Amino acid sequence: MLETELRKTKEFLEKMIDSTVDGIVAADIRGMVILFNPGAERVFGYSADEVVGKLPVWKLYAEGVPQQIMRMLRDGRHGGVGRLEETRREIVTKAGELVPVNMTASIIYEDDVEVATVGIFSDLRERIRIEQRLLKAQEDLEHSEKNALVAQLAGTAAHELNQPLTSIMGYAQLVARQLEGEAAGARAVDIILREAERMAEIVRKIGRITQFETKEYVGSASIIDLDKSAPAPPQFGAPIEKSAEAVPEPMPIEDTRPNPTGSASEAGSPVVQAPVVDESSRRTMKVSRLVVEQGEEVSTQKRTLKIPRLDKDGNPIR
């Protein structure tokens, strides 16, 4: 009867050891492996037949780790004498790969004499991969939220700055008309217009910000890199996304007038801010930086554009 109970207990313990997900490895007092369950086979990459009675347990660890574990088991500060609470270590697989694991260990005694050691190992590779994916997802979310906030602030700033800037440029053009014949004053107004246009270009870039990129400024300070944070406007020949709210970007204009260094007011012609008509596509584009005479032709990097004459209401004369 006792023999039957012992056999049943032995079979139960063997099934429990074999069915556990974690790796269980036991070694005798000489350090030779005497137990290697299926969980250990999955973690270490060996079969039990390759290990039991054939492989010393220290082969399963990086150099110096077995000695460190035995010292921790015996000094009593890591769960008591003969016990090691969960600790993180690296084991060595059959392929030579270092694998992070959580492990616990204990010494088996008979009459206060050490006869064996046993270790239980939990593979951390999948857990670490999940943690890394979660961390990356969190970083991506924070970056996306930061980009959205920066884009909202940039859009607000561009809108609020654009209105007073438009007024400045409009009044500067009005002053330029009133200073016809006064070269010094006209040049000063031209400078005001050029600098205002520089500001307008910065405002346009701010309005195009869609992501958050910084550059070094002074000392440890950093500022938003407008060139990297604001995508470039579409160029001629590139596909244009159609949108009811889309507003074309200003076209780069090459000054082809006979007196390119002088102002239009110096030439004695009326100064206007005119729309540019692209004859190839019949599109009318707003060009805020172009101040030319009515009926004048100017060249872009790609083609020649004609500035139409305007009637008293500012409409092109057909």
- The pLDDT of residue 170 is above 90: no
Do 285 and 307 fall into the same domain? yes
Do 272 and 261 fall into the same domain? yes
pLDDT confidence of residue 252: 40
Long-range pairs for 212-215: beta carbons < 8 A, 24 or more residues apart: 212/143, 212/146, 212/147, 212/150
Do 95 and 53 fall into the same domain? yes
Do 119 and 139 fall into the same domain? no
236: in domain: no
Most confident of 5-19, 126-140, 271-285: 126-140
What does the pLDDT look like over 110-151, one tens digit per residue?
A: 988 999 999 999 999 999 999 999 999 888 888 788 777 777
B/e letters for 53-62, b = 16+ CB within 10 Å, e = fewer, are eebebbebbe
Do 178 and 253 fall into the same domain? no
Q: What is the CATH number of the domain that holds 130?
A: 1.10.287.130
197: in domain: yes
The total of structural domains in the chain comes to 3
Look up residue 248 and give its two tokens: 């074309």
Do 132 and 119 fall into the same domain? no
Do 100 and 137 fall into the same domain? no
30: in domain: yes
pTM above 0.85, yes or no: no
16: in domain: no
| 176, HSE (Cβ side, Cα atoms, 13 Å) | 29
Q: What is the CATH number of the domain that holds 32?
A: 3.30.450.20
Of residues 254 and 85, more confidently modeled = 85
pLDDT confidence of residue 121: 95
pLDDT confidence of residue 72: 92
Do 196 and 269 fall into the same domain? no
Of the residues 67, 95, 123, which one is the last residue of a structural domain? 123
| Mean pLDDT, all residues of the chain | 74
Do 81 and 166 fall into the same domain? no
Q: Do strands 297-300 and 276-278 pair parallel, antiparallel, or not at all (unpaired)?
A: unpaired
User: 98: helix, coil or strand?
Assistant: strand
What does the pLDDT look like over 202-234, one tens digit per residue?
A: 887 777 776 667 777 676 666 767 767 666 665
For CA atoms 253, 258, 261, 266, the dihedral sign is negative
Look up residue 34 and give its two tokens: 């005497």
How large is the average pLDDT for residues 52-72?
A: 92
User: Domain containing 84: what range?
Assistant: 22-123
Closest residue by Cα to residue 22 from 117, 119, 156? 119
Burial class from Cβ neighbours inside 10 Å (0-12, 13-18, 19+) for residue 117 reads buried
